[in-house]
Chains A and B, each alone.
Chain A
């Protein structure tokens, strides 16, 4: 609730005025039966035609003024609801972006998307309804009670009982349905997930001939959703009939008690009409309120889910004013570094120490799952070491601001991911201010210049979402160019040439050696050929550093490295 309240603060005036104006409008509604009672008691009973006309005019005036209030109130309510929902959405987006890699993955992509879209929409209509109706309804209900009290104190007790009974019913139904609505949203996440899987995994599903089983699986998730929805629907459906029962019981008692009161003298028949009118007004308001409450239960469930995201605090803190890199210090130093991911059984890296001078090229090699990616992810501080210290240019990585850390490093991830836009807009991610020459230089070094030139619009050729209109190799080369545009002091290639053929890979490595700025390069690779000319090669095996040195040294001293090398260049091959 605190996030919503904070978001509403910017719309303090609107959130305050909207219900107030609604109440003003409601006041006129409450006065109407009084006027009608006056018409009956004074107009009809005395036959005063001009009085009837005057009161009719008053009713008209009240209706017009009421309209003015209502329209203004609707506008304020819409403003406050949409404004706060919109700022909540922006806040969620900002927050999700700040979440660490681990945290976002734990929550999951599809639920994050549902929460930013469908859940925020639910909250928006909830707030709108709340401002418009939920204050108006109790006001009318209580107001009707007060008016009844003014007419006849004893009969107004019936009103009190009816209102109390309703409050009880509404409260109970809300308490019962709220957790069920949350469960429905959760189940909806599952159905969404299953739909995504059926689409993204379509090739595998068809290859294994599993279409029927997947359909069946979806069907069972989907039926559970529908069953939950029907269950909660049946409970919510009690609201209207119960309201009707309570109110009409009220009417019956009012008639009975009223009959006695009229018979004994103090009550006039016009007043009975007013009392029944008030009871009916209560009914109308309660029915509206019941509908509002269903919307509100859903909105509350959604709000909880949103808050859960906002409450997930990023683990990592960056100093605002970071240290300044010392160009003369070693580029990267690992000092007894270990890392253990949350929920993982064992450490992914154990006691790693090495030192890299600025301008050196470092190769990282090791078997699948040996910790190569974990090692390079520590350099731009995507994760923090659980033990030991990672230093860059003379300062621990934790002392740099987020911005300077990201500017210092350029990473080409394993998964070549591009964004909708143009080739140019994707490259500019590396550096907003890069000019035409810089972009082409980066493309050339990344071995992408040729194919970009061949695109109909060159740099301005469109890139579809996820880069679907490019081949795997083309995407990979563009992600390399994107990192190069940044001219980072530390460039990290995380096995990012896997989709390139050997000739292109070799040309890429050659180009990387002749970049025109001082750069320290980390190359993660499966192939010894890709790293054999590195100044330093780190050999990882099961999270431990089992060898470091040059290609020649390692062939002599490191059996793991020798084995990897020989598996690629079989013994006796003249070229090994």
Chain B
């Protein structure tokens, strides 16, 4: 089972072990308890056997003394075993859940450090399932693994030892038959691994489909596509059912098959034991036979369990591999060790010969240079795909330039920590991201310790205060994931309020007012103007009325600045800008 994986990928278990190591104390305690409980459980049949032997004389000759001594012994051992079992489970629980908690925490820390270029190319749904579902499977596997793997092995060895003490020849019969059980289990596990693999692949496919369709439910309904998407879903769902059936059925064969072997062993023990007892009663007493039979029936259980654990662990490690894959992605280029970690920027920005491409073979921004004085309003216009949003990705250092440099107040941005750079920027994007939470939490996102007055002032400046007040719960209204009851424009206003509260020295508005009506927008612009007095701002917009008042308008086309100047001077040039501007009046 392991061999196939080793061919292509390194094994996962060293990585899993590394994460368990900090909890070694608990694991040791758990192993100790497993030892205690397994050995204890093995003693019980011996005591029972002795008690039975004490009754062998039949009517009138039972040795009550021995029987009660054995009863006390069984009681004591049971109490010890029970305690050990509980501690064992509690330790396993603790380790499994803490390890999965730590992996999840690490995953989130990782996500904060991953380069955006990686995140932008991986679907959110898949990453979520690596952090949630896959870790859950791993922790289930660990729980079961700890609980049964070690106990199982101890029990098998212990049983063999005990049986050997009772009768070597019968033990031999058992020992010969056992590998059979392992063989059968191994054979089945190998077969079912294939189906498990297929099951999880189809399951992933189905989850992706569900994700997409639930997310796009409104469009599905608007186009009356319910039946069609149901048909697509049914197709995947049927395939999943088929793979699941095979995986479940094949893996469930392990149990009855090993039980068959177990029953064979049992029959063999009964016959061999009885024949021995008939031949020479000193070779095997009836009491030992009873103990022997108890062992024989106990003996196969750990085999069953271990084979079950193997299946479970196969699955758990397959999932862990996906999660560890996320944790092993190369971080973004770390901040330089001597990077400046705080900066109060005035807002002078210089771009020098900047070049950037998302994919090496497709040039986007080439030899781009620009000088911005503190307090200037820069508007960027141009057709879709000309590189406006990319420029913002570079200014915020979401992506690093391929060549050239960008400097803020004379500091090349790579000599600053990302944090120091970014807190100097306020950013409002067209894609309005709000968190599931109250409106208050959302506005105070960038400044969690803001006072009520500050929050209300920001909301007023963003012209959203009166709307919030009219909501039934006011600032405590909870915004759901889908942000229902709030229009796109209102979401943009909330995002603006969020930035207004922080009042950074530099501002980026990327189509930030595209869904806001022009009257509100004018009021917001005025508020920005007031608040941004002496602050630098970049505005990307299609709506030309938004950008007319900018100090400098950059007209971009195919990653280059084709025109540059004020509205009036650009109109006078009668070039690309004038053509764009005039097109809005064409009917």
Contacts and interface: CB of A to CB of B under 8 A. Distances in A.
Interface string A106-122: 10111011001110000
B interface, size bucket: 35 or more
A331 B78 CA distance: 82
A491 to B, nearest CB: 12
A52 B274 contact: yes
Nearest to B127: A199
A218 B543 contact: no
A382 B222 contact: yes
A315 interface: no
Contact of A567 (B119, B221, B485, B522): B522
B286 A242 contact: no
Interface in A28-65: 32, 35-36, 39-40, 43-44, 47-49, 52-53, 55-56, 59-60, 62-64
Interface string B275-317: 1011000000010011001100110010000000000000000
B98 interface: yes
A386 interface: no
Interface stretch (A167-175, A320-328, A387-395, A465-473): A465-473
Contacts of B169: none
A406 interface: yes
B151 to A, nearest CB: 11
Nearest to B226: A97
Counting chain B CB atoms within 10 Å of each CB, the highest count among A64, A109, A209, A402 belongs to: A209
A256 B67 CA distance: 7
A61 to B, nearest CB: 9
Contacts of A273: 52, 286, 289-290, 293
The B contact surface, by secondary structure, is: helix
B67 A208 contact: no
Contacts of B271: 39, 52-53, 55-56, 59
Interface in B481-512: 481-482, 484-485, 487-490, 492-493, 498, 502, 511
A280 B425 CA distance: 72
Contacts of A258: 55
A259 B210 contact: no
A500 B75 contact: no
A208 B422 contact: yes
A56 B263 CA distance: 11
B556 to A, nearest CB: 12
B260 A63 contact: yes
A116 B211 CA distance: 10
Contacts of B44: 248, 251
B480 A106 contact: yes
A113 B267 contact: no
A78 B111 CA distance: 39
Contacts, number: 500
A556 B52 CA distance: 110
Nearest to B486: A369
Contact of A277 (B125, B267, B294): B294
A368 B517 contact: yes
A368 B487 contact: yes
A227 B215 CA distance: 31
Contact of B383 (A280, A402, A430, A501): A501
B467 A86 contact: no
B454 to A, nearest CB: 15
Given A499-B511, A502-B542, A529-B584, A256 B71 contact: yes
B245 A62 contact: no
A473 B384 contact: yes
Given A97-B226, A234-B93, A380-B222, A473 B101 contact: no
B212 A39 contact: no
A564 B257 CA distance: 79
A71 B70 CA distance: 40
Interface in A281-299: 281, 284
Interface string B190-221: 00000000000001001110111111111111
B385 interface: yes
> Nearest 9 CB-CB pairs, A to B?
A237-B89, A368-B489, A233-B93, A406-B224, A63-B263, A502-B584, A473-B384, A56-B271, A241-B82
Given A244-B85, A419-B213, 14 more contacts: A44-B289, A59-B263, A98-B226, A117-B207, A196-B124, A200-B124, A201-B433, A203-B398, A208-B445, A233-B94, A259-B67, A264-B59, A277-B290, A430-B223
28 contacts: A40-B289, A55-B270, A63-B266, A71-B253, A71-B256, A74-B252, A93-B233, A104-B217, A195-B132, A198-B111, A199-B124, A204-B445, A207-B422, A208-B446, A209-B446, A226-B98, A241-B81, A241-B86, A245-B82, A269-B52, A344-B472, A369-B467, A370-B517, A465-B208, A502-B586, A526-B516, A564-B518, A567-B545
